[in-house]
Amino acid sequence: MDQKPVKVIVSNPPKLTASEGAKRAAKLRTQSNDMGAERPPAIVEEPLKKEWSPVTWQDRPIVQDVVYDDYNKVETALEKLESLPPLVHPREIEILKKKLKSAAEGKTFLLQGGDCAELFDYCTQDNIENKLKVLLQMSLVLIWGLKLPVVRIGRMAGQYAKPRSKLTETVDGKEINSFRGDNINGFDVKDRLPDPNRLVSSYFHSAATLNFIRSSLQNGLADLRHPGDWDLSHVQNDNVRQRYEEIVTRIIEGLEFMKTVGADDSADITSIDFYTSHEALLLEYEQSLTRLLRNPTTGEKSYYNTSAHFIWIGDRTRQLDHAHVEFFRGVANPIGIKVGPTMDANELVRLLDIVDPNFETGRVTLISRYGADKVEKLLPPHIAAVQKSKHKVVWVSDPCHGNTKTSPVTKVKTRYFDDIVTEVKLALQIHKDNGSTLNGVHLELTGDAVTECIGGSQALEDEDLVIRYDTVCDPRLSVSQSLDVAFVVADWYKKNIGEDAVNASN
């Protein structure tokens, strides 16, 4: 008997559908936004009472707003982002939370660093490897000097947006949009119109960066038995070079000793934990990657922002009743808050009460960025206010952002290395004098030999800035200047906290 032919029905793939939250975000971000400046102001106390969700930020006033010209394109971009898998896993986030709790208790030191603003073009093997290598070398120096574990967080795999003091600039007599980061618009003056398709590109460049970071760390890049190139030829001062060489020699000898006694095969020696972070500026992007997921330890579900392990609020977007604070208060990730010269001590405590209502040790990292000439006046009252509040935070110094100046010779933005190390050392001492501890540093750096900041052991001068000034935003520490900072911090600890301080007192 002849069998009847089987009819195969091929169905179309399911069509993506944007959530109502995505649709409303798209509306808020386009010129069809009928709320605009009329978005109702919020009451400061309300965040503690109202139920939170990843979309409640949409009812708040917002600064550093982005306006797109096509609602449908924004909706399509957010629809796609909602369908994509998380970039990071809740287990990784929970491990980082434990490490930051340890940092808040003074048992671990936080090293956070990377580009001012990542470009999509930075997503290359050499660029990623160079940043990983310099952060690894810096962490080894810090471990040696501080006698503490170091948790490493990169300003990587998502740091594509930057807040700007001015949303427009004048070029050739014409006012155009400022460059606000690759996930908003392009650096080329012809590409300054905000494009929602860049949100999706941001995801895939973040994913590619993360994938290469993970594969590199699993395959020997962070093997402490081979800590990279310890070339110190950049150091111009003979006494400084000799000091650095002594430290490097001790580190290498310690690693060789571990190899000799057979203690160099553990996972702690052959690899490291590395975490990603960025300023969560574009809330429609962050909303799309915030998922209700199970805590791998407790089994309870929480909202994790899976765009990165750690996100922070910038100094320009930390208004108590605004959208960014509303979004941050509900995510399960550890979060950072930039604390600048305009932050009042009472305002700081009120902000902590909103985002850390349960007084969770290490949930909040306070990243101070005052400037070398202001830190002595502004940091002590902030320390006192937080101590009185009972919030257990991670205190971190960002000595870069408050020390940006215009070069008198080349007329470009730069930073003086002496200002940077002055702020770091003052922060270390001020915390010690006030019964507190500086738990980390947050640096804008690159793994390349750029010439964007003046000074350091390489003795760069103003005229040298033109040699390799690559930044499209703020000036970054070069690979040698980054190592200089690590040596300075390690040296301060040994003289003021460690064995050298004990010996000096005897």
Binding site for Mn(2+), residues?
116, 369, 401, 444, 474
**Distance between CA 506 and CA 503 in Å, rounded?**
5
Which amino acid, one-letter code, is at 117? A
Q: Which residues of 92-107 are buried (b: 16+ CB within 10 A; e: fewer)?
A: bbbbbbebbbbbbeee
Binding site per annotation, positions for phosphoenolpyruvate: 155, 338
Distances (CA, A) of 483 to 146, 232, 238, 259, 486: 15, 10, 16, 25, 5
The DSSP call for residue 361 is T
Annotated binding site: 116, 155, 338, 369, 401, 444, 474
Tally DSSP H helices, then E strands, for the chain: 14, 15
Angle at the Cα of 170 from the Cα atoms of 164 and 175, rounded to 5 degrees: 95
Q: Which of 419, 324, 425, 431 is nearest to 382 (CA)?
A: 431
Q: Return the percent helix, strand and coil in the chain, to nearest 5.
A: 40, 15, 45
- Report the run of H or E that residue 292 belongs to, with start and end: strand 290-294
- Say if CB 138 and CB 485 are below 8 A apart: yes
d(C-alpha 310, C-alpha 156), whole Å? 11
Distance CA(499)–CA(147), nearest Å, equals: 10
